Chain A
Amino acid sequence: MGKRTIIPFGPQHPVLPEPIHLDLVIEDESVLEAIPSIGFIHRGLEKLVEKNEWPEMVYVIERVCGICSFGHGWGYCKSVEGNMGVEVPARAEYLRTIWHELGRMHSHLLWLGLLADGFGFESLFMHSWRIRETILNIFEETTGGRVIFSVCKVGGVRKDISNEKLNDIENTLRGIRAETTELTNVFLEDVSVRNRLVGVGALTKQDAIDLCAVGPVARGSGLVMDVRLDGHSAYPDLDFAPCIETDGDCYARCKVRIRELFQSMDLITQAVSKIPDGEIEVKVKGNPSGEFVARMEQPRGEAYYYSKGNGSKFLERMRVRTPTNANIPALVKTLQGCDLADVPMLVLTIDPCISCTER
């Protein structure tokens, strides 16, 4: 039996743009146990409900994360709309769906770049982010923002996208499809990439269930779960099925995200062809007085948004449970028994967003 050593991983580490700390108990080169620590930059955004009226809180909740900001804003609106019984116009639901799926593409392309950077394939990183730039340009053209859009509001959306512009978006996505295929083929087929991902950090389906994993981490282990199947927004009108892989390793999680990248392109194309004309918002009267639990399928997985009102302009509670929060137990499990050199890949393939976790 070798000597046991504790290696601190993070909170500052080349693969971690944000702080999380892991105490890795290792024997020789194998990790026996990983003890996570978070909370280094807890921001207390939820507590701002005491100072911000509920229509303004959407701006705060959007700032939970700089990558899936639109989805957070939408999740908050969905929770308050459910709380107040607001029915959102169909066109607004389609526009939300289009922006959200663009957000998923942007998030997955960003993650692919970070993964490539993590295993030292710098040109692949740059090409991933070059394609992502096209998505950010679409955001800027349609919302005025590249990171925080502030187009979602309780009762609908603040901006419309003309049908001509929607067709332009569809053409743009068709244009980047070929180069995205070329890019993702490297992730899926290149020998050096496969060597880093195949068979590494496997999470069984039963473990994914027991550890309550969400998003691509759960789907990469064969678990069929996707909040978009719950019948909300424009999704019931769109033809899609969750992207499932069964190997549960880093490669499977990567493949799920790549398939979802193309799935989002298809969903946007379908939404553009079916979007109805009409209003983009309804007037919302009164204040929330009940409670409502809403969920969203963020790029990293299922997120919860709980709102509780008391009839005043200030919510009694606003709660956000982000996907990374739910995937930390799965990360701890997959790290047990892995090689020390594979830890960065394992951490990266749950796509941790500490900004979300430290809301």
Chain B
Amino acid sequence: MAERKDLIQDITTVENCDLLEAVSDLKNEGYRLGQICATTLADGIEVLYSLEKDCVLKNVKVLVDDKKPQLQSITSIYWPAFIYENEMHDLFGITFKNLALDYGGHFFKIAKETPWNPNAVKAAPPSSEAAEASDSEEQKGGEN
């Protein structure tokens, strides 16, 4: 009987400060980024990173505060993570430091800010550079 690799659920919770190291170690072992998913909990936001190698999944989980959620971007390790991180910014209000491709909060065109996280203080653009760019554009608009 063939092994049911799909039933293996390997989920490890790490501290925020250890996220990059945990993801980087998995990349060095040959794992591929599958997806990143955020979930709103009663006491914060849980972010799950799923990585795959030879049909086996390994999941890394971190917990962040829901008022001003902030995480390190993993785009320096897996560039395609920009898709998921911009999505999580727009839907959950999570700010990512050092995000390689930053849409400045305009990845999704949604009517309501951070619909999955009503506790978010304000949906800040994912990085300070984007915030400055946005402020500068607003000022130009105001001058015109």
Please list the residues of chain A having a beta carbon within 8 angstroms of any beta carbon in chain B: 37-40, 42, 44, 47, 78, 82, 209-212, 227, 229-232, 236, 291-295, 302, 304, 306, 308, 316-317, 319, 321, 325-326, 328-329
Contacts and interface: CB of A to CB of B under 8 A. Distances in A.
B4 A40 contact: no
25 contacts: A37-B106, A38-B107, A39-B106, A39-B108, A39-B109, A42-B110, A44-B115, A47-B116, A78-B6, A210-B79, A212-B32, A212-B34, A230-B6, A291-B9, A293-B9, A293-B48, A295-B34, A306-B37, A306-B48, A317-B37, A317-B39, A321-B84, A326-B80, A328-B80, A329-B82
A16 to B, nearest CB: 17
Interface of B: 1-7, 9, 11, 32-35, 37, 39-41, 48, 50, 52, 55, 57, 59, 78-80, 82-84, 90, 103, 106-110, 115-116
A209 B82 CA distance: 16
Contacts of A291: 9, 11
A332 to B, nearest CB: 9
A304 B11 contact: no
A interface secondary structure, majority: mixed
Contacts of A319: 35, 37, 39
Given A227-B55, A325-B83, A326-B80, A295 B115 contact: no
B12 to A, nearest CB: 13
A202 B116 CA distance: 38
Given A212-B33, A302-B34, A317-B37, A231 B79 contact: no
B59 A293 contact: yes
A321 to B, nearest CB: 4
Contact of A42 (B1, B79, B82, B108): B108
A212 B80 contact: yes
B55 A229 contact: yes
Contacts of B33: 212
Contact of B39 (A295, A304, A316): A316
Query: Quick one: which of A230, A236, A294, A329 has the most chain B CB within 10 A?
Result: A230
A116 B80 CA distance: 30
Contacts of A230: 4-6, 55
A306 B116 CA distance: 16
A209 B34 CA distance: 11
A50 to B, nearest CB: 10
A306 B80 CA distance: 19
Contact of B6 (A37, A39, A232): A232
Nearest to A328: B83
Nearest to B34: A304
B35 A321 contact: yes
